[in-house]
Chains A and B, each alone.
Chain A
Amino acid sequence: MKYFVKMAHADFEVDLTDLGNGHYSLKIGDRVIEADFHAVDAHGQYACLLDGRSYAASIAEQDSQTLDVTIGGESFSAHAQDERERTAGELATARPVAEVIKASMPGIVVSLTVSPGDVLQEGQAVGILEAMKMQNEVSAPHGGVVAEVMVETGQAVDSGQVLIRLESASDE
């Protein structure tokens, strides 16, 4: 089974053979690594031996493919897909992106200064988010016309949540 793992500095192609009982043979480039990999609990803690070197690894899933991996106090963001997902992913990215303005961080909506019908310039401030005493301005990633404001002042939002929907380019 092949896995494609995107990291911050490099992409890895891992050819994994499951030998049973937590034993794996991992082919990466022209190297073969013998792995012994056991879940310690159901919360993403693993006891991992790679060619006999021991690593305590912890994984928090952002979604099924996007993982925060912590090893020895260092955190890494990994995007791991199997072959099927990779093919599906390639098809998906070929589609145009949705015309929306998203929250850049989780927090409370302090203000939103636009209404449906407003014409936005790229970079224009549309509102303010606040979390832990920090305020961040939300700005339009590109120009457009506001179709719908999806959140209310005072509402708590997650990072990446859609705040404002823009009329799609094809409506113009």
Chain B
Amino acid sequence: MSRPFRKILVANRGEIAVRILRSCRDLGIETVAVYSEADRNSLHVRYANEARLLGPPAPSESYLRIDRILEIAKETGAEAIHPGFGFLAENAAFARAVTEAGFAFIGPPPASMEVMGDKLASRAAMVAAGVAVVPGTTEPLADAAAALKTANEVGYPVMLKASAGGGGKGIRVVRSADEIEAAFTTASGESLSAFGDGRMYIEKFLERPRHVEVQILGDQHGKVIHVGERECSIQRRHQKLIEEAPCTVVDDATRAKMGAMAVAAAKAVDYFSAGTVEFLWSNGEYYFLEMNTRIQVEHAITEEVYGVDLIAWMIRIAAGEKLTLPDNLTPRGHAFEVRLNAEDPDMGFVPSLGTIQDLRIPGGPGVRVDSAMYRGMEVTPYYDSMLAKLITYGSDREQARRRMLRVLQELFVGGVKTSASLALQILQTPEFIAGDYDTGFLEAWRESDPETSREVDDDFEEVAALVAAMHRHHSAHQNALQFAGDADSSLSPWVAADRFKRLGKGVRS
């Protein structure tokens, strides 16, 4: 197996940096990590072969410093740069700067990123390519009469949206023609007084929409395939919490059609590398929402049900290799992902900062944990709150779901609060068990102030109280004897392997 590159720089941090480093290791590629002053001890720094300081913790002074990243790439002799997700991943100027400096950018071409990054331009490109978009207007409506005309064409119910709208202001759902004029006048007026802009758009209102997205993979020789869909409707404030693949409402025929549409969308902008075409799904219809021109957080569930390493393919494609996967891949089994965030669900999801004093990572059949956590890790306020991704695989949906319940019970993160307990509750709701949920589910469910339904009868609160009492008693007696436990994480196995190799005992394949 030839190596696509000799050395890659990973311009990111946290879980995704570790994930990319792992694929590099699998491919026998040397790695360079970059880090901010807050991340000196991070796992990605320790897992890489080389590591260089970017600057102070603030992203604008570290992970967003294009000049520093290119400088380090030159110094270390890296051949390619992987941006991960977030930070510079969808920054076309960065992608261009990377290529112009003579490195390979492990991602899509900048021109594709630019089109897909612009709401109006991407919509126009999709319409031209015959991809279904949410029916509606892209130009502001002249008046109520124009609104009526468009609404009649689009079909009811429709949504009137203020161009400057936000926070629910300037938005009206209209269910019949006789409501249009009044709704237009009030929504436009509301927006004018709140935002100083009364311009209105119209869009088909989708009942119980689901967020279903299709993974695509394309090479630099014109081949684009789809790697199935992911269901990502469990969201809070547009942040995904739990994802699954495949989607329970997508059958084989729909998958083939959606997949073909996603491939057409990618081809329309001459896309290559990995990308995701997001659709809104409602009552069996689906419409293009946007395309994410990067690897996504939830890519791992696709990897599990399709048996492919998407990051490895991104690397190979960036090196100019041909995509050799067949274009009729079929999913096998079912996978779930839970995003483990450092936040306190009981306190309105405020970030939970602190030191991870203790850590128990789940294991066993069908379990994959993509994580950047380690004992002693400081969770700082500077970056995203995602600590890890918990992924389970099963031969069917119920097996994968039950494995996730087990994973969430086995996991322990001491010292910071996480979203694990919330995920555990969601996974046990009748709606989730049935796969019958939409993007509004989580907010509605939380507002209903649900009683947690659990399979275990034990009164865990009482158990916790007893444990707390015994802990107090135990600590009081141990205080005199207390010694500092050895909290040091040992050397990363990779670093250890490298040391071994340098002693001349290891063999590089």
User: Are A and B subunits of one complex?
Assistant: yes
Which residues of A from 109 to 164 have beta carbons under 8 Å from B? Answer: 130-134, 136, 156, 158-159
Q: Are A131 and B381 within 8 A (Cβ)? A: yes
Contact in complex: B470, A35 (CB < 8 Å): yes
Closest B-chain residue to A55, C-beta based?
B463
Contact B473 A67 (CB under 8 A): no
Taking CB atoms, residues of chain A closer than 8 Å to B385 are 132
For window 19-65 of A, CB contacts with B under 8 Å fall at 24, 26, 28, 33, 35, 37, 39, 41-46, 48, 50, 53, 55-60, 64-65
Decide: A44 and B357 in contact? CB cutoff 8 A: yes
Closest to B406 in A: A73
- Asked if B434 is at the interface (CB within 8 A of a chain A CB), the reply is no
Number of interface residues of A (CB under 8 A): 63
B358 touches A131 (CB 8 A): no
Q: Is the CB of B414 within 8 A of A60?
A: yes
Across the two chains, which residue of chain B brings its CB closest to A136? B350
Q: Please report the C-alpha to C-alpha distance between residue A56 and residue B411 in the assembled complex, in whole angstroms.
A: 11
Q: Would you call A76 and B485 a contact (CB within 8 A)? A: no
A-contacting residues, B463-498, CB 8 Å = 463-476, 478, 482-485, 487
- Chain A contact residues, CB within 8 Å of chain B: 1, 3, 5, 7-10, 12, 14, 16, 18, 24, 26, 28, 33, 35, 37, 39, 41-46, 48, 50, 53, 55-60, 64-65, 67-78, 80, 82, 104-108, 130-134, 136, 156, 158-159
Whether the pair A50, B466 counts as a contact (CB closer than 8 A) is yes
Is the Cβ of B471 less than 8 Å from the Cβ of A59? yes
**How far does the Cβ of B40 sit from chain A's closest Cβ, in whole Å?**
16
Q: 8 Å CB contacts to A: which residues of B396-434? A: 408-412, 414-415, 417, 420-421, 424
What is the chain A residue whose CB lies nearest that of B407? A73
Contact of A16 among B360, B415, B469 (CB under 8 A): B469
B384: which A residues are within 8 A, CB to CB? 132-133
Q: Say how far B21's CB is from chain A's closest CB, in angstroms.
A: 23
Q: Which B residue sits closest to A5, measured CB to CB?
A: B465
Give me the interface of B with A, judged by CB distance under 8 Å: 342-343, 346-347, 350-354, 357-358, 360, 381-385, 408-412, 414-415, 417, 420-421, 424, 456, 458, 460-476, 478, 482-485, 487
A-B contact pairs, 26 of them (CB 8 A): A3-B468, A14-B466, A14-B469, A16-B469, A26-B469, A46-B470, A50-B466, A58-B360, A58-B412, A59-B414, A65-B472, A70-B414, A71-B463, A71-B464, A72-B458, A76-B461, A76-B464, A76-B465, A80-B469, A105-B347, A105-B351, A108-B381, A132-B382, A132-B384, A132-B385, A159-B350
In the bound complex, how far is the Cα of B127 from the Cα of A154, in angstroms?
46
Measured in the bound complex, the distance between the Cα atoms of B424 and A2 in whole Å is: 33
Q: Is the Cβ of A28 less than 8 Å from the Cβ of B483? A: no
Q: Which 9 A-B pairs have the closest CB atoms?
A: A42-B485, A73-B409, A131-B381, A78-B468, A3-B469, A76-B464, A105-B350, A106-B353, A12-B465
Measured CB to CB, the closest approach of chain B to A30, in angstroms, equals 14
Measured between beta carbons, the chain A residues less than 8 angstroms from B382 are 108, 132
How far in angstroms is the closest Cβ of chain A from B287? Answer: 28
